[in-house]
Amino acid sequence: MKYALITGASRGIGRAIALRLSSKYKIIINYCSRADKANEVKALIEAQGGSAELLPFDVSDSKQTDLALSSWEENHQGEYISLLVNNAGIRKDNVMFMMSDEEWREVLDITLNGFFYVTRRLLKHMMPRKHGGRIINVSSLSGLKGMAGQVNYSAAKAALIGATKALALEVAPRNITVNAVAPGFIDTDMTQDLPKEELKKLVPVGRFGTSEEVASLVEYLSSDDAAYITGEVISINGGLYT
């Protein structure tokens, strides 16, 4: 069994990805504050015969990230994380002229800096390996087309797309693929405050997507069948934006 680290795996899309991949990987559940939810995911994975462990750290803190991953490596001599899913992210929506420094900084710190700190650290062990690895970044429809009231979120997710394409070129010779998925409106706790009935009218298929549908796409990109796919951004938005 290989190891997969999913950041922000205690809830929503990250939770669904962790559960979906647990038949093929030993799952490392990253979270920052919701230990109760992370333990729920761990218990569910173990109940269905999988293996999971918790690795709490704040992805936006480079020192904390390095310490946590160094500790994991010390406790898993000779092993490495072959799949990284950069899922951690938050929304702090506001119109730009009223947006605070904190609302701007926190969203970019977690989504973009978090990607950088975690990925940089794991590449040191992924690149020398014969079998390489997989890196999958969870971007967003907002990063492709922009969304009013989400200048911070759109900026972070768009930057993640650019980083995905550039990194894919750097590590392709090392048998590492780097791709992004870009969900549209997905039914999670992050979208509970949105006017769903109004937004559903904008989606050609007439509904929000599910976390499990996103997880299924991530599962495919992590598989051997997707070894020739890299540098891609795959939308999953019910036809809202193509």
* Residues catalogued as catalytic: 153
Gap between the Cα atoms of 155 and 108, Å rounded: 8
Gap between the Cα atoms of 44 and 236, Å rounded: 26
Gap between the Cα atoms of 27 and 6, Å rounded: 8
Contact indicator for 234, 183 with CB cutoff of 8 Å: no
Q: What are the beta bridge partners of residue 27?
A: 4, 52
- Token pair for residue 27? 């799952």
Q: Cβ-count burial of 228 within 10 angstroms (0-12 exposed, 13-18 middle, 19+ buried)? A: exposed
Gap between the Cα atoms of 212 and 14, Å rounded: 10
Across the beta sheet with 52-56, the strand order is 52-56, 25-31, 2-6, 81-86, 133-138, 176-183, 233-236
Amino acid, single-letter form, for residue 217: L
Closest-CA residue to 109 (of 167, 42, 43, 155):
155
